[in-house]
Structure 1
Amino acid sequence: MEGNISLARIGILIIGSILAFLKYNFSQKNKIFLGNSGALFLGYLLICLGIYITKFDHNTAHFPYGIFFILFVFTIPVIDSVRVYTDRILRGKSAFKADKTHIHHHLLQLGLSHKKITLIFVSINVIVLAIQVIFFKNYSVYTILLSFLAFILIFKLIKTINLFLTWKNNIKQMENS
């Protein structure tokens, strides 16, 4: 959009590597483990790309491409991380001590596979993209709040379903014993 071919090449390389990674992880036999180093490196590349794009936000149009990119790519991880860190602090625990309270852990407990969870997250990102395209024409802080509230509502629904199913399974186990 800005005519920066170098930036477009980097973006295409990142997209290609992510698609290749997902291709192998969606297969039944071949799996590739990204690991912490790979995830941190990918996050670093994406945030650097987003920051670099924000440098061009007001050159050709009044559309904030950089902020749009950052919100689109990082909506789920940022909101989920903020929610988890806040919850840990409120419980009197270290914000950086690992636990199983991230949204994907709740989805795994509901019996969803990693493949389905990935598809759900991609779908949520596409929905966030659509919301942002609709509301970014008159960009305001309300767009960020709308994304945040939508995520919190979705998470609360998943957590409630998860708690209900756990309670139901506990009742069945008590009845059987």
Structure 2
Amino acid sequence: MSATFLNLIAALVISIVLTGLLIPKILLIAFRKNLFDIPDSRKIHTSTVPRLGGLAFMPSIFFTIAVLVGVNRLMLTNLHVPYFIFNPVTLCFGMCAVMVIYLVGIADDLIGVKYRAKFIAQVIAALFIVSTGMWIHDLHGFLGIHTLPAWAGVPLSIIVIVFIMNAINLIDGIDGLASGLSAIASIIYAAIFYISGQIIYAIACCAIVGTLIPFFYYNVFGDAKINKKIFMGDTGSLTTGLLLSFMAFHICNMKTAHGLRCDMLVAAFSPLIIPCFDVLRVFGNRILHHHNPFTPDMTHIHHKLLACGLRQRYAMIIILLASMMFTAVNVMLSMYFNITWLVIIDLVAVFAGNYTLNMIINRHSLARRRSRLASPPASPPKDGSPKDTRKPQYQAQ
């Protein structure tokens, strides 16, 4: 087994162990200090659950990367060759960007932060990243555009980074969805970096995956009744979104990867299609119906699947499979089609899927209405108080 592969396994194991040790401590502190995500009419969960799982993300990832880089430098393994050497400016500014988002996320999860302040912090984090030269230099022929000048590429890159962070944040609506999508994207990025010989980034992606695995376990399989369930909160979703955008930008700026004939821009952003397209669709619907695009509602893809009668876990699995399918199909088609055609195909697929879901939701709602009319009315409680039968209202949009 090569030293490179051993480093990737070590990154996975170290981050799994660290996060697995940190999350129970975070749960303990959250319950002692009453730091919970309180259920309301818009949220799917019905019990108080801590939302501080994201606190474990940055320490686990950074510690894993630092330990492996240090050990390899000391032992002078084969990883000291040029492809393991990284730009210190990129590393330092990338850490600054993550630190800004991590601290703002903690503040938001603990005391709440106004959206304007969060947006400013996200822009500052994006500025740290693009200032290293890691911005979109080429659209690879999308809409006939290739090379971008700095005055166009830098603002576009800032918008994309902020957009990806918020897309991961907004898709975090059911158990395991945001962490599952992020883990899939990180695995794909790790494979690309490994094939292209950029091992430090492959190690970072493996550390992200290893951090998400214990969280996924507590989030999906943890029981809130025995205080074992946790959410990632804004700390986790925004931090993960920033890390994914950082990796995606690095990939799209690579000319090619050895052994890969696909378009690197497609390979970079295809794993993020589901959350990004979902946010675009939801915001478009809100604007179309004269609503504030930033006002929360229940029209996201996971809400629609739940409205079709699916359980949370099945809805999560379907979305994760769809993400893998989109990525695989896009990467394969990018070898034969222009990127503009790929975007058109993806948009048609998304609109067709949305239309199909709306049809199923309408039929499901009609069937429930008929069933309610056919069944006798429920008897009121013995204490005489009216029975609360309210449920979250899903909108077919």
Correspondence 1:170 to 2:369: yes
1:60-101 superposed Cα distances (whole Å, 9 cap, x missing partner): 676323431212x21111111111101100101111111111
Correspondences of 1:82-97 after superposition (within 5 Å): 82-97=280-295
TM-score between the two structures when normalised by the length of structure 1: 0.89
1:27 aligned residue (221, 241, 245):
221
- Cα deviation for residue 43 of structure 1 reads 1.0
Correspondences of 1:1-177 after superposition (within 5 Å): 1-29=195-223, 30-58=228-256, 63-71=262-270, 73-140=271-338, 141-176=340-375
Q: Greater Rg, structure 1 or structure 2? A: 2
Percentage of pairs with the same residue: 24
Match of 1:26, SS state, is helix
- Cα deviation for residue 164 of structure 1 reads 1.1
1:21-63 superposed Cα distances (whole Å, 9 cap, x missing partner): 2223332533220112211111111011101111213476763
Contact 2:263 2:331 in 1 (8 A): no
Structure possessing the higher relative contact order (Cα contacts under 8 Å, 6 or more residues apart): 2
Contact 1:75 1:125 in 2 (8 A): yes
- Cα deviation for residue 113 of structure 1 reads 2.1
* Equivalent residue letter for 1:164: R
TM-score between the two structures when normalised by the length of structure 2: 0.42
Give, in whole Å, the separation in 2 of the partners of 1:131 and 1:82: 21
Greater share of helix: 1
For the structure 1 residues 105 and 20, does the alpha-carbon distance in structure 2 shift closer, same or farther, using more than 3 Å as the test?
same
Contact 2:302 2:316 in 1 (8 A): no
Match of 1:95, SS state, is coil
Contact 2:248 2:269 in 1 (8 A): yes
Unaligned runs of 5+ in 2: 1-194, 378-397
Give, in whole Å, the separation in 2 of the partners of 1:151 and 1:172: 31
Give, in whole Å, the separation in 2 of the partners of 1:77 and 1:122: 11
Contact 2:249 2:268 in 1 (8 A): no
For the structure 1 residues 44 and 175, does the alpha-carbon distance in structure 2 shift closer, same or farther, using more than 3 Å as the test?
same
Give, in whole Å, the separation in 2 of the partners of 1:99 and 1:57: 41
- Cα deviation for residue 139 of structure 1 reads 4.1
Contact 2:262 2:332 in 1 (8 A): no
1:148-168 superposed Cα distances (whole Å, 9 cap, x missing partner): 211221121112101111122
Match of 1:93, SS state, is coil
* Equivalent residue letter for 1:6: I
Give, in whole Å, the separation in 1 of the partners of 2:218 and 2:336: 40
